[in-house]
């Protein structure tokens, strides 16, 4: 079995805590949160952290405006339900969907130490929600 690099471990940790924070931050006292694209209400443990611009784009992978709660159907079966996602982003702020797409196409390299710092930040934010 191949040992994970420091960078791989940092990405795993950051993905975990960023997703937890996205899914929990808007949950009500019972842990319920609405899907950003269809409005279905589920417990935060049953939803995904869905990306508007694909998570493969490092410039927006950990941008909170790009990542919202999505139900399984919207995120997986509807491949992110991108049309509704964009419409809802535009309702929040005109031009936001376009800005995130532009930002996602920028070249971006996140240093391992930056990933580690972000992971600790989101770990702390999650602990504040508990």
4-55 residue pLDDT tens: 999 999 999 999 999 999 999 999 999 999 999 999 999 999 999 999 999 9
Phi, psi (degrees; rounded to nearest 5) at 74? -65, -45
The pLDDT assigned to 110 comes to 95
Residue 55 lies in a domain: yes
Q: What is the mean pLDDT of residues 49-69?
A: 97
pLDDT, tens only, 77-128: 999 999 999 999 999 999 999 999 999 999 999 999 999 999 999 999 999 9
- Cα–Cα distance for residue pair 53/57, rounded to 1 Å: 7
The pLDDT assigned to 130 comes to 87
Phi, psi (degrees; rounded to nearest 5) at 32? -85, 140
User: Domain containing 27: what range?
Assistant: 6-121
**Number of other residues whose CB lies within 10 A of the CB of residue 8:** 13
Q: Which helix (H) or strand (E) holds 76?
A: none
Whether this prediction's pTM lies above 0.85 is answered by: yes
- List 33's β-bridge partners, or say none: 42
The pLDDT assigned to 27 comes to 97
Angle formed at CA 50 by CA 7 and CA 97, multiple of 5 degrees: 105
If one counts the domains in the chain, the total is: 1
The pLDDT assigned to 2 comes to 85
Residue 105 lies in a domain: yes
- Cα–Cα distance for residue pair 93/122, rounded to 1 Å: 25
**Cβ atoms 80, 74 nearer than 8 A:** yes
Rounded-to-10 torsion of CA 14, 20, 22, 24: -160
């Amino acid at each position: 079995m191949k040992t994970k690099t420091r960078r791989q471990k940092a990405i795993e940790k950051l993905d975990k805590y960023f997703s937890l924070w996205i899914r929990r931050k808007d949950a009500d006292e019972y842990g319920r949160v609405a899907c950003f694209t269809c409005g279905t209400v589920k417990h935060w443990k049953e939803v995904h952290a869905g990306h508007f611009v694909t998570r493969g784009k490092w410039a927006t992978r950990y941008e909170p405006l790009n990542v919202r709660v999505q139900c399984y159907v919207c995120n997986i079966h509807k491949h992110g339900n991108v049309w509704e996602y964009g419409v809802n982003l535009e309702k929040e702020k005109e031009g936001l969907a376009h800005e995130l797409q532009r930002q996602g196409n920028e070249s971006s390299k996140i240093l391992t130490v930056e990933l580690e710092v972000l992971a600790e930040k989101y770990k702390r934010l999650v602990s504040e929600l508990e």
